[in-house]
Amino acid sequence: MAMLRAATRLSRAFRTNSIFESHASPLSLSSVKRLDLRCLLSTAAEAVAEPIKPDISISLTKLLIDGKFVDAASGKTFPTIDPRTEEIIAHVAEGDVEDVNRAVKAARRAFDKGPWPKMTPYERSKILLRFADLIDKHSDELATLESLDSGKTYQQSRYAEIPTMARLFRYYAGWADKIHGLTVPADGPHSVQILHEPIGVAGQIIPWNFPLLMFSWKVGPALACGNTIVLKTAEQTPLSALLAGKLLYEAGLPEGVLNIISGYGHTAGAAISSHMDIDKLAFTGSTEVGKIVSQAAAASNLKPVTLELGGKSPFIIAEDANIDHAVEVAHFALFFNQGQCCCAGSRTFVHESIYDEFLEKAKARALKRVVGDPFQNGVEQGPQVSDEQFDKVLGYIKIGQEEGARLLTGGDRFGQKGYYIKPTIFADVQDGMRISREEIFGPVQAITKYKTLSEVIQRANDTTYGLAAGVFSKNIDTVNTLSRALRVGTVWVNCYDVFDAAIPFGGYKMSGHGREKGIYSLNNYLQVKAVVTSIKDPAWL
Ligand code: NAI
Ligand code: MG
């Protein structure tokens, strides 16, 4: 019963903006105590019990090209790793240039000759709706693959991310038959139609932190607009998208419309971004690789590029804030998904009048955070996704100590096996420190003190990034001033990480360009064509 309530709240949290309520209540230690504690870890007892064996057999490991699962042309495979155990889950076909070429050929044919762009938008919409129903039906399996491959908690996958995925496809199914152009007046005897056409073959490269949500944000709008796709998953998390792809074909997608390549960035990813026959590129990942794919896109066929990149998002807590609430939401804003969020609230600015109390409570909350096997009910934090990320985060913790930031709690690995890291907090962080300027992408909260509104605006904007910000205040003037002054794509006020399908998401500055989700994402996948027809002897202009 307790779990059912927890699950319902977690799912509701993604529909409403009460993430705080959902994360404070169901996953608090008091509710955890009522659950099975066999494999729970706590910072006091640092030992991982035998990992839970999820009930799943891995059957989809090949590339999905032209509606069929096929081996890589080279015959090569690569291992995907369980971040809990550091052991191999499965060997997956390793796509490379030749496979990308095959996939583009299939997608090209499906676009130029296939039924997909010619299908009525209503028919396309029905396929997307059937797919959403199949997501619901297979949500246990999708969530299991997602958590096994990435280390995120099963509860989060099953009750928040998979329902959000289904919701997103229903949202874009709703758009499919509402995409239309205009007729516009002309100065002479001309009839002018503005057509909104699909752009063609979309290349999409996604990361590992939210594999299925990133799949959805890219595939949903591209399909609603009538495009075909070559998508590359991240090498750390190839499994769940293959099942999603299979279900899309089961829902009635014509052959070749969606092709999925598992493989590495410098090979398969590079082949996509530089391909001459791909008409559009969408990328989510690091700023560094965002620059590389943009250059490749420009140097090949000048395909337009949308980028969702990194961030160093400020979370600003004003003097009038309810401290307990602010502590909880600031905790969630940073530690959610093991801190592996592009929009993580990774610079916590606290007004000086409440700073000491905030630090004390933030530390207590981090100490209570339940770290452990992501398949265990009640666990809030699983392992980081990979050894590379684990090393990177521990590296930044060391840098923070060397730079002189005050380590309040954590600072080390958790347990002896798996990529677990203790929830870590630095206080008195100075703006010039690397832990305040660079994306850590892990469970490391950096807290700093401010005095005035104008000071915090200047400091919050003093970054190369501009993805998101959190504002915590009950004063409407403070909220209005901050939300307009912050140079970021999303401002969450008295909430954080609210990701409804209709809300556009994207960055200012080096956090990228273009927006995903909502009506704005459709523009990324449409061409605009003006058809100007001379009219003989018009009755009116
Ligand atoms: P990454 O940017 O290398 O990987 C993202 C995607 O790009 C993956 O599918 C990867 O295979 C692909 N890729 C890599 N090199 C490529 C290339 N030369 N051409 C085409 N595609 C390429 O990110 P990585 O190495 O996994 O993580 C490094 C850091 O990036 C993280 O620590 C984090 O700071 C940031 N990051 C940000 C994400 C976001 O959501 N904005 C997601 C993942 C990572
Ligand atoms: Mg990389």
Render 94-147 in DSSP notation, one character per residue: ---HHHHHHHHHHHHHHHHTSSTTTS-HHHHHHHHHHHHHHHHHTHHHHHHHHH
- The span from the CA of 408 to the CA of 428, in Å, is 10
pLDDT band at 291 (very low <50, low <70, confident <90, very high): very high
Nearest residue (by CA) to ligand 1, atom 15, is: 265
DSSP for 176-198, written as a single string: HTT---EEE--SSSEEEEEEEEE
Residues 6+ apart with CB under 8 A from 497: 19, 332, 333, 336, 341, 343
Q: Is the pLDDT confidence value at 43 over 80?
A: no
Whether residue 112 is predicted with pLDDT greater than 70 in this model: the reply is: yes
Q: How far is CA 106 from CA 68, 76, 225, 340, 370, in A?
A: 11, 21, 18, 34, 46
Task: Assign 47 a pLDDT band (cuts: 50, 70, 90).
Answer: low
Ligand 1 pocket test: pick from 100, 231, 286 the residue with the most ligand atoms within 8 Å of its Cβ. Answer: 286
250 tagged catalytic:
no
Phi, psi dihedral angles at 489 (to 5 degrees): -80, -25
How high is the pLDDT of residue 50?
A: 84
How far apart (Å, rounded) are the C-alpha atoms in residues 418 and 413? 9
- Beta-carbon contacts of 397 under 8 Å, excluding residues fewer than 6 positions away, are 407, 410, 411, 412, 421, 424, 444
pLDDT for res 46: 61
**Mean pLDDT confidence for 192-217:** 98
CA 65 / ligand 2 centre spacing (Å)? 25
pLDDT in tens, 292-335: 999 999 999 999 999 999 999 999 999 999 999 999 999 999 99
For ligand 1, atom 32, which residue shows the shortest CA distance? Answer: 441
Element (H, E) at 93: strand 87-93
Ligand 2 centre and the CA of 285: distance in Å?
8
Q: Measured in angstroms, how far is the CA atom of residue 424 from the centroid of ligand 2?
A: 24
* Ligand nearest to the Cα of 269, by number: 1
pLDDT value at residue 510? 98
Annotated active-site residue in 94, 146, 161, 308: 308
Rounded to the nearest angstrom, the distance between the alpha carbon of 289 and the centre of ligand 1 is 6
Q: How is residue 538 written in tokens? A: 């018009």
> Which ligand number lies closest to the CA of residue 337?
1
If phi > 0 it is left, if psi is from -120 to 50 it is alpha, else beta; for residue 497 that is: left
Q: Which of 261, 289, 505 to mutate to test the pocket of ligand 1 (most atoms within 8 A of CB)?
A: 289
Q: Which of 204, 205, 284, 337 to mutate to test the pocket of ligand 1 (most atoms within 8 A of CB)?
A: 205
Residue with the larger pLDDT of the pair 541 and 86: 86
Residue 175: which H helix or E strand, with range? helix 162-176
Q: What is the mean pLDDT of residues 89-93?
A: 98
